Structure 1
Amino acid sequence: MNIILGATGQIGSMLAENLLKKGQPVRAVIRDSSKVQELKNKGAEVVIADYFDAETLKRAFQGGSSVFLLTPENPECKNCLKEIQMIINNYREAVFSSGITKIVGLSSMGAQHEAGTGNLMASYMLEHAFSDLEIEQIFVRPAYYFSNWLGYLELVQENGILPTFFPPEMELPMIAPPDVAKFLAEVMTCKNPQERIYEIMGPRDYNSLDIAKIFREILNRNVTLQQILPEEWESTLTQAGFSKDAADNLILMTKTVIEGKIKNDAFNPIRFSTGFKTYLKNIV
Structure 2
Amino acid sequence: MFVIFGAGGNVGRVSASALRRAGRDVRAVVRSAAQAAPLAQIGCEVAIADLHDRAAVARALEGASAVQMLCPVPRHDDDPATTMRRMIDASVDALRANPPPHVLALSDYGAEHASGTGITTLFHYLETRLTTLDTRLTFLRAAEHMHNWARVLPVALAKGVLPSLHHPLQKRFPTVAAPDVGALAVQLLLDDKPPQRSPRVVSIESEARVSVIDVARTIGELVGQEITAHAVPREQWPAMLEAAGLGEGHARLIVDLYDAHNAGRIDVQAGVSERRTGPTTLAQALAAIVPGGGATVSA
Q: Does the 8 Å contact 1:256/1:262 carry over to 2?
A: yes
Cα-to-partner distance string for 1:195-252 (whole Å, 9 max, x where unaligned): 6101111011111001111112222211111221110010011111111111111111
1:174 aligns with 2:180: no
- Structure 2: unaligned runs, 5 residues or longer: 294-299
SS at match of 1:158: helix
The alpha-carbon deviation at position 175 of structure 1 amounts to: 0.9
The alpha-carbon deviation at position 116 of structure 1 amounts to: 1.6
SS at match of 1:205: coil
Q: CA RMSD in A?
A: 1.5
CA distance in 2, matches of 1:143, 1:281: 19
Q: Does the 8 Å contact 1:58/1:95 carry over to 2?
A: yes
Aligned partner of 1:32 in structure 2 is 32
Superposed, which structure 2 residues align to 1:71-150 within 5 Å? 71-150=71-150
Count of residue pairs brought into register by the alignment: 284
Aligned partner of 1:247 in structure 2 is 251
The one-letter amino acid of 2:35's match is K
The alpha-carbon deviation at position 274 of structure 1 amounts to: 1.9
Aligned partner of 2:225 in structure 1 is 221
1:201 aligns with 2:239: no
Q: Does the 8 Å contact 2:74/2:84 carry over to 1?
A: no
CA distance in 1, matches of 2:243, 2:45: 39
Tell me whether 185-194 or 272-281 shows the greater mean CA deviation: 272-281
CA distance in 2, matches of 1:39, 1:241: 29
Q: Does the 8 Å contact 2:104/2:138 carry over to 1?
A: yes
The one-letter amino acid of 2:47's match is V
CA distance in 2, matches of 1:223, 1:130: 43
Shift in alpha-carbon separation, 1:67–1:268, aligned structure 2, 3 A: closer
1:279 aligns with 2:285: yes
Aligned partner of 1:185 in structure 2 is 186
Q: Does the 8 Å contact 1:65/1:99 carry over to 2?
A: no
Q: Does the 8 Å contact 2:29/2:48 carry over to 1?
A: yes
Q: Does the 8 Å contact 1:143/1:174 carry over to 2?
A: yes
Tell me whether 230-239 or 143-152 shows the greater mean CA deviation: 143-152
CA distance in 1, matches of 2:53, 2:32: 15
Tell me whether 24-33 or 94-103 shows the greater mean CA deviation: 94-103
Q: Does the 8 Å contact 1:63/1:99 carry over to 2?
A: no
Aligned partner of 2:214 in structure 1 is 210
SS at match of 1:107: strand
Q: Does the 8 Å contact 2:162/2:230 carry over to 1?
A: yes
CA distance in 2, matches of 1:81, 1:155: 28
SS at match of 2:108: coil
TM-score (norm: length of structure 2): 0.91
The one-letter amino acid of 2:126's match is L
The alpha-carbon deviation at position 98 of structure 1 amounts to: 2.7
Q: Does the 8 Å contact 1:162/1:212 carry over to 2?
A: yes
Cα-to-partner distance string for 1:134-187 (whole Å, 9 max, x where unaligned): 200000111111111122233333332211111211210111111111100111
CA distance in 2, matches of 1:51, 1:150: 26
The alpha-carbon deviation at position 268 of structure 1 amounts to: 5.0
The alpha-carbon deviation at position 117 of structure 1 amounts to: 1.1
The alpha-carbon deviation at position 65 of structure 1 amounts to: 1.3
Shift in alpha-carbon separation, 1:237–1:95, aligned structure 2, 3 A: same
1:51 aligns with 2:51: yes
Q: Does the 8 Å contact 1:64/1:98 carry over to 2?
A: no
